[in-house]
Amino acid sequence: MELEMSNKNKGKQRKLPTLSGFLSFVVALVALAGVNLSLLMDFDDFPKMFLIDLPIVGFFLGLLGLVTSKRSKLYALWGIGISLFILVFTFLMIGLSWVAINPKP
């Protein structure tokens, strides 16, 4: 008969994967804040960093967080969700403005 507690060292192993899920969420939030700013301030330039670069980084960080640890799943899922939303948002906005609303050759 053995009453063994087997989670002695988990705390230390968990740190890196937790960080990737958390980072994914943070990166997605920064990108989302950038999208808000550019929409509200009516920027003329296409903010590529907020609309494409950061969401891609957030998405992959989220995937990493998702496969490596249970505890960071919530953050990772939010990170992936927001990143995907921004990418879909960008794709649809460009598509609609070019094709569906007042198209110009």
Partner 1 sequence: MDKKQNQNDEELYHSFLNESMEDYEESYKVTEKNQKKLIKAGRNDALKTNIMISLAIILLIVPVLTLSSFLYYAFGGKANHLIEIATKTIYVTEPNMSLEEIEVEEDIGFFTMDLTFDVFKRIGQEDYQAGEYSVDFALDQPNYPEREMKLEKPLPITADMETDLLYHPDGPYGATVYSDWEILDHLPDGTVGEVYLSLNQLMKPEELEKQLGNNVEVRWVAVDTGFEDKPLSEVDYSVAPIGYPLQVDSTTWSPFNGREQSNEEVFLDILKFLAKDEKTAERVSRARSLALGERISYIEKNGIQVYGAVVTGPTPELRKLKEHDLIHIMKVGEVKLWNWK
Residues that bind partner 1 (CB under 8 A): 1, 3, 5, 25-26, 28-29, 32-33, 35-36, 39-40, 74-75, 78, 82, 85-86, 89, 92-93, 96-97, 100-105
Question: Which alpha helices (DSSP H) does the chain contain, by range?
Answer: 10-40, 48, 54-68, 73-95
CB of 96 to partner 1, least distance (A): 4
Helix (H, G, I), strand (E, B) or coil at 5: coil
Q: Report the residue number, 3 or 45, with the smaller CB distance to partner 1.
A: 3
